[in-house]
Amino acid sequence: MNQAQIKVISSGKYIPKETITNQDLEKMVDTNHDWIVSRTGIVKRHKAAEQEESSDLAYHAAMDAIKKANYDINQIDLIIVASITGDQMTPATANFVQTKLGITHECMSFDINAACTGFVYGLEIAASMLASGRFRSALIIGSEKLTKVVDYTDRNTCILFGDGAGALIVEPSEKKEDQVYFYNAAKPDELLSLTVERYIKMDGRKVFLFAVDIMQKGIEKMLNESNLTIDDIDAIIPHQANIRIIQAVSKAMNIPMEKFVLNIEEYGNTSAASIPISLDEYMLDQKNRNQKVILVGFGGGFTYGSALINL
Ligand code: UT7
């Protein structure tokens, strides 16, 4: 049983300005706007500038979270960046973020790669490390520059992915209601990969079936572990991969679509950034504070995971 209690302090996001619309993609591959919208729910995705790396997107998302709470940067002593598109092999993207934030005091910073589930994995790692008593404040970021690894001649994948970053600052909490629950795991499979050949490859249909199944399991696990019912949950923040995956989960579990936070239309699939971006958009509405939300994701690996947190 997970005993970690975390206080959510602030969230942030960064979305690059440039967009790739469905109409833009029609000029690159044999596809069309109606097919993309009806099969995925995506209308556009955002694209980072040439010189903007994942650490830049992550830095801006972190600054957004810091500014919103007027947070003392000196508190942060743990930075975790989840990404499959880090700036380079080493130093870690998190090390670059630490430098960009100007954090020169002792702070542990490192990257994790759990594909699209990276942020949920990162949150569990941070919660455990905070519960150890050795850290006082964690900054967890999901950041992706996926446009640099998308093959714009492959219509099966290029319509899906976009760039962006989301961040969350959390601290340990004394309050019982801040208890968090996690379910993070993996099942080896290579149906979704990004190899040194540089491009994302995916068997979309098989990933789709896996996703519908595992997202239901992720939500059920959270309800069982916490002894709550779906009515006690204010919102579900799913990985934004395909609107039809979310609709299928909603239908199979009899959970109204209104309970799911959605923004796939605007950003497409931003991998590890998708859940924290959605979380930030949800938290922007002050009335959504002090709520119980389930985060649920899946991705290459296959990795999958869910978290139940109190905002
Ligand atoms: O975070 C990463 C996790 N990734 C995912 O969650 C992806 C999960 N999978 C999916 O979202 C969907 O499988 C896709 C959106 C990738 C594809 O949708 P689909 O409904 O599963 O389509 P499909 O692969 O079964 O293809 C149906 C048809 C095929 O043509 P035929 O063989 O029926 O003649 C494809 O060639 O649609 C064709 N097609 C397209 N047509 C127009 C595939 N991509 C496109 C396209 N535009 N972009």
144 CA distance to ligand 1 centroid (A)? 22
CATH superfamily of 1-311: Thiolase/Chalcone synthase (3.40.47.10)
Fill in the DSSP letter of residue 157.
Answer: T
Give residue-wise pLDDT tens across range 116-156.
999 999 999 999 999 999 999 999 999 999 999 999 999 99
Q: Cα(150)–Cα(159) distance, rounded to whole angstroms?
A: 9
Any ligand 1 atom below 6 A from CB of 156? yes
227 CA distance to ligand 1 centroid (A)? 38
Confidence of residue 23 (pLDDT cuts 50, 70, 90): very high
HSE value, Cβ hemisphere, 13 Å, CA-based, for 168: 30
Give residue-wise pLDDT tens across range 157-172.
999 999 999 999 999 9
* Cβ(304)–Cβ(214) below 8 Å: yes
User: Best substitution site from 208, 210, 245, 296 to test ligand 1's pocket, by max atoms within 8 Å of Cβ?
Assistant: 208
The pTM of this model reads 0.96
Domain boundaries in the chain? 1-311
The first and second tokens of residue 42, run together, are 């995506």
Confidence of residue 189 (pLDDT cuts 50, 70, 90): confident
Least reliable range by pLDDT among 59-73, 186-200, 202-216: 186-200
Q: Cα(187)–Cα(172) distance, rounded to whole angstroms?
A: 30
Q: Which pLDDT value is given to residue 194? A: 78
Any ligand 1 atom below 6 A from CB of 35? yes
